[in-house]
Amino acid sequence: MARSHNSLHDEVAERLRGLIFSGDLTPGQWVDEVRLCEAWEISRTPLREALKVLSAEGLVRHEPRRGCFVNEVTEQDLDEIFPVIALLEGRCAHEAACHASDADLMALADLHDQLQAHAQAGRIPDYYATNYIIHESIIAMAGNKWLAMAIGDLRKILKLARLQQLNAPGRLAQSLSEHLAIFSALQKRNALAAEEAMHLHLTRQREALRSLMQRQSSRLSGMAMPDVNFSLASKVQTT
């Protein structure tokens, strides 16, 4: 059976997201529509429909007479997004504390055991994976489709930045402590405490990212200094 037009452009949109999130299409890169159509053996119509979807999601931008480019996330974007997602996920934690079943909390307890084991062993990729499942579980426990939709849209933008906040010094232990505080509040059905703990968790993620960027910038500046000093010294010696 032939695929419908809608199912095809949805499939193409998902494949494009995969290329972007994997880094095969990098921030700022031009999307070569002709090459993709040839590689995927599709017409331009479903590809362009898919690009419209990704444009609406903020993953690509269209420039007249130039085509589509993968969007780039700036520091200002992060400063504006994190307070919003902290509010939204905080509200999810609030509603999860009100609606979670005993079975939900038991499953979340197992996930936090895994999270703690990964943190103690320093397994950052595994920690990230379990951390994602925990956040998704809390969103599901909240049972609010509008919150889930809004958070999902913002997360797609944050994926463009390929953030690695757990590489900041001390952040892994701090993140675990924050998660345990959120879970404790959920277990006690304390909606306000759960909301505040989740808000703090997301706010500290942004702080960790800013600290990491500053350290990287400082390190790069430090690496450049010897060349400058050597050049100046050479000039003094030869004059």
Domains and CATH numbers, the chain: 5-70 (1.10.10.10), 75-212 (1.20.120.530)
Confidence band of 232 (pLDDT split at 50, 70, 90): very low
pLDDT tens readout for residues 22-52: 888 888 999 999 999 999 989 999 999 999 9
Where do we find the tokens 């504390």?
A: 97
Percent of the chain scoring above 70 in pLDDT: 87
List, for residues 189-202, the tens digit of each pLDDT value. 999 999 999 999 99
Cβ partners under 8 Å of residue 147, min gap 6: 88, 91, 92, 95, 139
Using the predicted structure, report yes or no on whether residue 219 has a pLDDT greater than 80.
Answer: no
Contacts of 28 (CB under 8 A, 6+ apart): 69, 70, 72
